[in-house]
Chains A and B, each alone.
Chain A
């Protein structure tokens, strides 16, 4: 579809820009966002045309910020929406659904969505090199998809990151740059590199395009529910982008006439050890205070989140809520989901389930509400977080008697 992208627009002052690899408004330094010509999109896009599309997030290509066809991350998205009857029964919810991004492709987290869009866009803009700063899921997604796309890739990490995490990136053969110094130093350096080098830094100069990939979670949820928006959604927050974009995606579907006016309530979920956004929300203020993260939910450990302000705003608009859970509650959340639904989530999923439990307990989610919990990453990536809490195998001798005496319920 041509002409669907109007350009970029400043989220603060509204100033318009061409759809270039830029991310900051030159006037007010506010963040830029992609602006679409919905009238153009409306002319050809229908529910039926979407349903005929590929089983990936690219079935919504007309609502994503790329001009040509999809070239990277062709298998990302369109993950199962599971009717969680067992967990629902335990919590007293009839219509609980898990959006299961633990099985996203190729790297088992929702970051595969945003990176598929970022790299497809970067490539059509002529970039040969991509980069990101990440300690986990984002680096995995960028390194893997850059390998598939044949693009040069740089991943920046703080020195002294756990060996297992570094390995998960090295296998794809990007240049992994370990920066000496603390987290703030790495952060500042990456911002300077992004402003100097002609690279597609996915979450810096390509961020306006990258972030749009998260809208696909809203589109898929609605389509999988039979073109209905849920009543309640629970969304983990790190930078705050995912929550903000799910909100945008729902509203776009209404604007296109695919669904009724949006009455969905957003519920943001953070870990207690890194909860700047949820804490500000609970205090009723719209500016958060940056924190130094200290939680097992490393994938959500962003202490000074770029979209924190906008996440608070969207949640307020929806008349929703935010909350946080302790590390123990995160572990419990992971175990509950695994033991009721057979879905092994990473710590971010534990945060979502932990906050879901609280929402039900506090009466904010009711029995009949169509509720979707976003489980955004795979548990095999954060096994160390639960290693001590899952028990041990039963050990026996290779004798039938030992089995029958030693193993509970064997008889």
Chain B
């Protein structure tokens, strides 16, 4: 099954919420955190999502709706 890697950034008000857990319950994707730096005011996560591509894309939309900035792990590749 495909896996895609993402870089997530959390705004301050989202830092305490269990968003990765929620996404794993709401969509048929496996979540795997590979790197993180979360402080009281800000945070980022490197997250792998495994599942069908369409489900991964829906999960990414779901994360965005929760106010998380979701980018490919490479960030911007258009130079």
A binding-site residues for B, Cβ under 8 Å: 12, 23-24, 27-30, 111, 132-138, 156, 158, 183, 186-188, 190-192, 194-195, 201, 203-204, 207, 238-239, 287, 290, 302-306
B1 interface residue per 8 A CB criterion? no
Can you add 17 more A-B contacts, CB < 8 Å, to A24-B73, A29-B73? A29-B5, A111-B79, A134-B78, A186-B78, A187-B72, A190-B77, A192-B4, A192-B72, A195-B4, A203-B77, A203-B79, A204-B74, A238-B79, A302-B76, A304-B75, A306-B74, A306-B76
Q: Check A138 against B79 for contact (C-beta < 8 Å).
A: yes
19 A-B pairs whose Cβ atoms sit less than 8 Å apart in the complex: A24-B5, A24-B73, A28-B34, A30-B46, A133-B78, A134-B78, A138-B79, A186-B78, A187-B71, A188-B72, A191-B74, A194-B77, A203-B79, A204-B77, A290-B69, A290-B71, A304-B71, A306-B75, A306-B77
10 tightest A-B contacts by CB? A191-B72, A29-B46, A28-B35, A138-B79, A133-B78, A306-B75, A304-B76, A29-B34, A304-B75, A302-B76
CA distance A239 to B74 in the complex (A): 11
Q: Check A187 against B35 for contact (C-beta < 8 Å).
A: no
Residues of A contacting B4 with CB < 8 Å? 192, 195
Residues of B contacting A187 with CB < 8 Å? 71-72, 76-78
Q: Check A132 against B79 for contact (C-beta < 8 Å).
A: yes
Question: How many residue pairs bridge A and B at CB < 8 Å?
Answer: 78
Q: Check B78 against A135 for contact (C-beta < 8 Å).
A: yes
Residues of A contacting B9 with CB < 8 Å? 290
CA distance A28 to B73 in the complex (A): 11
Residues of A contacting B35 with CB < 8 Å? 12, 28-30
Interface centre among A28, A135, A304 (most CB of B within 10 A): A304
Given A12-B35, A29-B46, A29-B48, A23 and B74 contact (CB-CB distance below 8 Å) = yes
Closest to B47 in A: A29
Chain B, residues 15-42, CB within 8 Å of chain A (1/0): the string is: 0000000000000000000110000001
CA distance A306 to B73 in the complex (A): 9
Closest to B48 in A: A29
CA distance A132 to B76 in the complex (A): 12
